Structure formats: structure tokens, C-alpha cells
Structure 1
Amino acid sequence: MPATNRKGIRLLLVDDEPHILEFLELGLMNEGFEIYTAADGESALAQYRENQPHIVILDVMMPGMNGFEVCDAIKRSGNQVAVIMLTAKDEVEDRVKGLTLGADDYLVKPFSFSELLARIGARLRNQFPNLLSEVAYGPFRIDDRRKELIYRDNVLELSPTEYELLTYIVMNNGVVLSKSLILDKVWGYDFGGEENIVEVYIRSLRDKLGDKEHRLIRTLRGAGYRLDLP
């Protein structure tokens, strides 16, 4: 679990399922975030206007005003805000619609709490870097303002792409990451090269980490890579 100063980072949770809302509220409060909740679209917009959250975690399927309508209204407000949409449907149409309306990320239920934390961390790094101090994950420390990644108190000499790749892997500690997913997140959707480029960069990172036996960045044949922090 990353350690960082999250005081003053405001999150709005919107879901009509009480047990999900309570689970997320308790978990994210324990992580140090300032949490607001809403169980429907109208209440969500009222909370949004009153509290000006940095990140809105927004369920798609709600009675009355659905998540797409709420996302559209929030993004039209003109304020700087990140929206992570939650849905029980793994359908391309829903994902495209949400992203078209300005959603910044997308999670399909059921999802792990650690994955949600990673997505929140990514949005903060990308859209609110001034809110974050140095973030620690086990023996790793990430200072995104300086674009430095420290491992066991040593600053790693990394190219810009190596920095983005290792940061992405570290922030998704314990999650299996396929080559195609890594390409999308690090190189971008319009990358026209071969998936083997990921292997080349992983090999370079292992060399720089002294991970000769692949105990830190593990290869799962046919699935991808997983970081196992000690």
C-alpha cells in the first residue's frame, strides 16, 4: 500500500448500492482521503457543487439520472476534476460513451480495492501533481514532480519511457499486466510497434534493479508481468 500525504484530497463516491458505497467509503477514508458520498445522480451533483472534489468515482447504472448524465454535467462545469466510472458491464459501447463524455478512467465491477487505489493514484499524478508529495511503495519511492524513481534509497538512471513503465508497474503492485495493456497505458493506443518492445524494456529494468532471478518483476507465461514487492 502506498504511503503519502493525502490530507485535503477530496473524493466523491457515487453508487446506489449501499454496501459498495460503505465499503469504498471506509476503505478510502482509511487511506487518508476526504470522502463525500451520494446514492443517486441528483445528490451527486449537489455534493459536487458544494464540495468541489478532485476525483469523482461514479457508478454508471443508477435509477433516475444515470452516471453518463452525471459525468456530462460534471465535465461541463469547467472545473478541474477527474472522473473514474464504475460499471457492471464490460461493453465497449459503454466504455466509449463514458470516455466521449469526458470520463478519465473506467473500472468494471467487480474490481479489487488495490486496483482502484492505483487508478486514483494515476489520476492524481496526471491531473493534480501539486497535491502529492513523494509516494512510497515498499522499497520504491516515486517523485513525479522530479520524474525520479528511487529504489532502496538509490535514484535509478531511467529513460523517460523506462520511468513511465516502472512507475506503472509499481503502482499496480500485485496486479497481472498483459503486454497489450502495458502498451496502451505506457506507449499509448496509437503505438504501431510490436509487443516485443515490452520485453526489451522489462529486461532493461530488471538489469537496473538487480533482479537477475526475476523475483521482483515476475513473468507469467501467456498472461504478462506482475510486480511482487518484498
Structure 2
Amino acid sequence: MNEQAAITTDGLTKTWDTTAVSDLNLSIPNGSIYGFLGPNGAGKTTTIQMLTALTKPTNGTGRIAGPPITDRNAVIPHIGYLPSEIEDRIEELLHRFDLIEDADSRISTYSKGMKQKTGLIQALLHNPDVIILDEPTSGLDPRAARAVRDTITELAANDTNVFLPTQILPVVSKLATEVGILYDGELVAEGPPEMLIERWETGEESTLEDVFLEVTTDGSYDVVESPES
């Protein structure tokens, strides 16, 4: 990956019947674990669809590891999808997530947790520059969830960007180097978890959950203008 940011957006906006995402500005460096938080309906899914070139923005621009998100063929090699080779990589990841004994099973017979592991293998298989993991620990037992968290940390240490949309705040608190909170389609808070906790301190032992609840209450926030704001 080159030296530019892994994910950038400038005024990214998507309007369906209403505006789902409004004027989203991101600049996420390589090697980051970016926790992308927001309540249901905040615009997280629409943002993911735009970043993965599944839908085009109404306004604004974005790039994934260089290519514009409006060019699906150029973006896809940089994000998670399943290629048709690299058997050694498949075996390595099957071992990591304890699926080697089930490698020949039909996926329709898998439990929710096993399907989640399979999806993670698919996302990691070709060593992409940017990995978007939507609720990666959902449905996993504690051992598998630990393996996922360790893998995320390892990926970031190897300069891969991990974009982590989730509502599991303890995972974000433990792993994320940067957090963005989306509410009603707008980025209402962004920064390292400890900085957000300090800025929106709500008590003697404030947590990221306290910040999340504070900034996702109507009228309680100012939309961020930059990561340093």
C-alpha cells in the first residue's frame, strides 16, 4: 500500500427518499483500526455500501487505497472478497478459526458462528489493503472472538486498515485507534477513544458508551469539522 490514507471521503452524501448520509468527511490512515459507531438507522450501512462501490454517492467523493469508490473494478482488489487461488492461505485461515475439520462441509449446514468465521476468511483471504468487518464477533464463542480480535490487531500492525462498523462498544474500546460516531447520517464525533472520553466527560469514570449515548441524543452534539476538533 502506498503512503496515502487508506480511506478518504470528501462531502460524501447519499440521498434515497431522505438523506441517509450527509457530508461525510473521513481521512483514515494506513494501519488504523477505525471503530465506526452509530445507532440503527444512523447511515452506517449506506456508508459501507458507498465505500465498497455497491452504490454511488449522490454527492461527494471517496477513495479506498487510492482508487475512487465510483470505480468498482478498481476498488474491489483493495477490499475483502474471495479470489479463486491461494490454497495455502485458505488452509492457514481455516486452522486459525478452527474450521479445518469442516472444510468439506456445505456452508448451509454451518451454525451462525461458523458462517461468521467463513465470512472472515473470505474477507482476509487475499490480504487486502482495507478490510471492512461489520460486527465481526457477532455469533462467535469467546475463543473465536479472541482469535478475531487478535487478527484485527495483527492486521493493523502490518499496516492494513481495519474499518470496524459495530455496536459492540467494548470491542471498539479495546481495539480501535480512532472512532467515528454517526448519527442521523452525520459524523457527530471523531477521534481516539480516550480523547472522546475526555472531551465528553459525563462523570468520574466516563466510558465510550457514555460518549456514544451523549452524542446520539437529539440536540446534544455539534457536528465535527475535523478529526482534531
Relative to its length, the structure with more helix (as a share) is: 1
> By the TM > 0.5 criterion, same fold?
no
**What is the TM-score normalised by the length of structure 2?**
0.31
